Amino acid sequence: MLSGEELTFAPPGVLGGVFGNAGRVDFCVDLVRVGRPVGDGDADEAQRDAGVVGDLVVDVVTDAEGEGTGAIVEDDQQLVKFHGMYLQDDRDLRPERTRKKMEKAFAFMIRVRVPGGVLSPAQWLALDQVARDYGNHTMRLTTRQTVQLHGIIKSNLKATLKEIDAALLNSIAACGDVNRNVMCGANPEQGPAHAAALELARKVSDHLTPQTPAYREIWLDGERIAGGEDNVVEPIYGKTYLPRKFKIVAAVPPSNDVDVFAHDLGFIAVLDDKGGVTGWNVTVGGGMGMTHGEEDTYPRTADLMGFCATKDAVAIAEAVVTVQRDWGDRLNRKHARLKYTIEDRGLDFFRAEVVRRAKVVLEPAKPFKFTSTGDRYGWSQAADGRSHLTLFVQNGRLFDHASAKQLSALRQIAQSHDGNFRITPNQNLIVANIPIERQTEIHWIAKEAGLLAPWSGLRRNSMACVALPTCGLALAESERYLPDLMTALDESLAAHGLSSDDIVIRMTGCPNGCARPYLAEIGLVGKGPGRYNLYLGAAFDGSRLSKLYAEDLDHGAIVAALDPVFAAYAAELQKGERFGDFTIRAGFVAATGNGRDFHANVAKQAARAAR
């Protein structure tokens, strides 16, 4: 075993810091081959387009072609996504290693599956240990309410996944063309309603998890089924899995922390007068990804499809997934998400097929109201006298650095905590169910580690994807740049008396939208190195998409473009008016309806921004 302790590590923000131990390889990992489900080559495209995916195990082989390399062959790079991992390299080091004729600094990112984002202290400690023993000494809390572990070299994959399994966790289906980690509202103060959402998230996740024994056979040395994979039938995914990834959430009003309208399938709790759940409104057809310059790709907010009883929710989920399995576009991956299926087929036609398959009658959607998408920071009280502390984790990255030892602080809390940890969909963390006698101690541990919420309303409502140096799709910085940009924007906001105003800002390094930037009041999407498209006008409650305001801006241009908007907001806002709503009323951007309307009516505001 190669320990991360043996290797040089620099924290994020330092050149090459996200890969603490990349490039050390001793042997190759046993992998398995699949019927080329998501390959990028022409042959792989042809097979996938024909619907050939097969099972996740066909034959267990040694990746002999990978000996002496930190990578794996291209086919296996696509396969392992279904097992919850990506092969990456440190892009900061590419130029130097190219000059020296060295291989790229390869390592893997493993994404853990944590339905509902709830971890026990023992599970938190296990992931912390894995991050230090095998990873790059960081834990990355994601926008999908789970944990990513970066910098894991190939020879440590099996050992890492065995440690994760020992904590009763796994990474299967955390990536790939399959249902991903199921999210739910993270606020434990919502009591029975949150418990119902968590139970639903776990039931749906369990029901939609692939049944193949491949994961256990490969990574955990499980016993192979007699006769091999030919005897294993995926009851939901079949031989073809899904045309693209699939995302499911459960929200509990008035909090829309999960961004329910951003996902393929959503359940919105309908509450009675006592806060109990009477059933669920069902949403379908949300999604964030698009491609720059291709207006037939666009983000979309989900449609309300109807209301179902709790007992029928899993059946509805299966029906929605199988309709998308059968109707989704397998010829064009840019048109393969459920949002396009519904745009093409129509909501009524889609609903009728879901009802037919689920054998459930959907009632009309019932009234509900969201107020925000953010987290409630600080302390909140539970009915039993225990309390919950919501911590601020900047862009989800936890690590020890000179001024704040965050991983060590949370390890100290977990070692004697008898409650649990709850990852929020906003990349933050709740230490839940803290007894009265430990509240002061935990508060000061968190304060010393810089984990309490900042004064800046902009920073409190910020999110960023990882982007450079590890994401192969990134066109620009995100996680490493957003804090510096917010420092500059905070100066502008302070000059206009807006420092504490809650304004949602999100940044991604590419247009795929992992941090849901098109539902942020200020959205910044990477266009190229150091340059971003600026979007304004999304709703604070996550119900309306933004609109392009200005293109291809560098740092100075972003600050210059937003300062007059902040000035106008400070001078002209109406009582209770949110920043996104103001930008529409004041004419900075047009309101976006949905789908194809995202790219419409941008000329007016682009001209104003240019002035």
Do 119 and 253 belong to one domain? no
Q: How confident is the model at residue 595 (pLDDT cuts 50, 70, 90)?
A: confident
Decide if 92 is inside a domain: yes
Q: How confident is the model at residue 554 (pLDDT cuts 50, 70, 90)?
A: very high
Tell me what the pLDDT averaged over the chain comes to.
Answer: 88
Task: Provide the domain limits for residue 348.
Answer: 184-208+242-374
pLDDT beyond 60 at 89: yes
Do 598 and 481 belong to one domain? yes
Terminal Cα distance for the chain, rounded: 59
Do 358 and 437 belong to one domain? no
Decide if 483 is inside a domain: yes
Decide if 234 is inside a domain: no
pLDDT one-digit tens code per residue, 383-411: 778 999 999 999 999 999 998 999 999 99
DSSP 457-516: HHHHTEEE---TTT-TT-SS--TTTHHHHHHHHHHHHHHTT-TT----EEEESSTT-TT-
Residue 85 dihedral angles phi and psi, to the nearest 5°: -145, 155
Structural domain count, the chain: 4
Mean pLDDT of 194-216: 95
CA angle at 76 for the pair 74 and 78, rounded to the nearest 5°: 80
Residues contacting 553, CB < 8 A, separation 6+: 531, 532, 533, 534, 561
Decide if 309 is inside a domain: yes
Task: Provide the annotated active-site residues.
Answer: 111, 180, 245, 247, 465, 471, 510, 514
Decide if 602 is inside a domain: yes
Domain at 190, CATH number: 3.30.413.10
Q: Considering only CA atoms, give the Rg of the chain.
A: 23
Domain at 82, CATH number: 3.30.70.2500
Do 199 and 216 belong to one domain? no
pLDDT beyond 60 at 50: no
The predicted pLDDT at position 224 comes to: 55
Decide if 403 is inside a domain: yes
Cβ atoms of 524 and 505 within 8 Å: the answer is yes
Total-model pTM: 0.90
Q: Which amino acid is at 248?
A: I
Decide if 232 is inside a domain: no
The predicted pLDDT at position 233 comes to: 74
Do 167 and 247 belong to one domain? no
Which of 389, 420, 453 is the last residue in one of the domains?
Answer: 453
**Range from 11-20, 62-71, 291-300, 369-378 carrying the lowest mean pLDDT:** 11-20
Tokens of 333: 């991956």
Do 54 and 148 belong to one domain? yes
Domain at 427, CATH number: 3.90.480.10
60 burial via Cβ count (<10 Å: 0-12, 13-18, 19+): middle
Do 29 and 151 belong to one domain? yes
Do 218 and 100 belong to one domain? yes
Do 310 and 259 belong to one domain? yes
pLDDT beyond 90 at 610: no
Percent of the chain with pLDDT over 70: 86
Which of 350, 374, 398 is the last residue in one of the domains?
Answer: 374
Among candidate residues 106, 179, 117, 189, the one with its CA nearest the CA of residue 146: 117
The predicted pLDDT at position 41 comes to: 36
The predicted pLDDT at position 52 comes to: 36
**Range from 21-30, 87-96, 159-168, 240-249 carrying the lowest mean pLDDT:** 21-30
Distance CA 90, CA 80 (A): 19
Do 65 and 109 belong to one domain? yes
The predicted pLDDT at position 56 comes to: 53
pLDDT beyond 60 at 456: yes
Do 135 and 76 belong to one domain? yes
pLDDT beyond 70 at 202: yes
Decide if 178 is inside a domain: no
Which of 402, 436, 453 is the last residue in one of the domains?
Answer: 453
Do 348 and 307 belong to one domain? yes
**Range from 230-244, 330-344, 374-388, 555-569 carrying the lowest mean pLDDT:** 230-244
